[in-house]
Amino acid sequence: MVQTKIRPKYRRQYGVIPYGLSSTGKIILPKEANPQEPYQCPECKGKLILRLSKLKKPYFSHYPGEKRKCKLNYSSIALAKHVLRFVLDQWMRGKGDPVEVQLFCGERHEIPRDEINEIKLNQRIRFHQKRRYLSHLSLLDRYGQSILHIELREKSRVHHVKHPSWLEVASEEILSNPYLLSSLNPYMNTPYFLNPAPQQLSLF
Ligand SMILES: [Zn+2]
């Protein structure tokens, strides 16, 4: 599949590898990383080296032999996936700004922090016993159920996924603002977890 190049401004903003994974799987930014610790690339799982730029800014780099096979070198989808994962992870931990979902018709909903228990990457989802679709990021609730599937696209699908929790978003838009997920899918409904629970009506 041909993938468009990542714009230089997003390279400058997020780096080639926006974060590394610690030996316990924690998301670590280059500025928080310890040069004595090993880190793994979140995309290709290759070992990372912590380097310093000319301006003494730390950044992660692949080992020379591992560099070519990693999608973070060329795919705006791969970069947007990890930028969004970082932002959602921060939000789940009570740091950073909320992430909003904007439906195809325009309504916006903040993702409630307490509803998400886990984020899974690259889930193959089968609908209607037929096709499998790739969910780049799936948000799971405390029971391990997927409550939102996020598919990053360079271009909108010709045939949208007819599923109410399938959020299709443009990778360029995520790179420009990862706090707003604008749905390209007219078949997506407001997922139940985006609506605040209705108050129980008291009869007395
Ligand atoms: Zn990599």
Residues in the chain: 204
Which pLDDT does position 196 carry in this prediction? 56
Which pLDDT does position 170 carry in this prediction? 95
Angstrom distance (rounded) from CA 135 to CA 7: 24
Which pLDDT does position 203 carry in this prediction? 60
With beta carbons less than 8 A apart as the criterion, state whether 81 and 136 touch: yes
Taking each continuous run of H as one helix and of E as one strand, the counts in the chain are 3, 12
Which pLDDT does position 197 carry in this prediction? 54
Tell me the CA–centroid distance for residue 87 and ligand 1, in Å.
19
Which pLDDT does position 132 carry in this prediction? 87
Determine the residue type at 62.
H
Could you say which residues of the chain have pLDDT below 50? 1
Sign of the C-alpha dihedral computed for residues 3, 132, 135 and 182 taken in this order: positive
Which pLDDT does position 204 carry in this prediction? 57
Residues 6+ apart with CB under 8 A from 83: 14, 18, 174, 175, 178
Q: Which residues pair with 64 in a beta bridge?
A: none
For residue 196, the tally of other CB atoms under 10 A from its CB is: 9
Which pLDDT does position 190 carry in this prediction? 75
Which pLDDT does position 4 carry in this prediction? 61
Tell me the CA–centroid distance for residue 173 and ligand 1, in Å.
22
> Residue 29: which of 14, 37, 15, 19 has the closest Cα?
19
State whether residue 119 is helix, strand or coil: strand
Tell me the CA–centroid distance for residue 142 and ligand 1, in Å.
30
Which pLDDT does position 202 carry in this prediction? 60
Tell me the CA–centroid distance for residue 16 and ligand 1, in Å.
9
Tell me the CA–centroid distance for residue 6 and ligand 1, in Å.
15
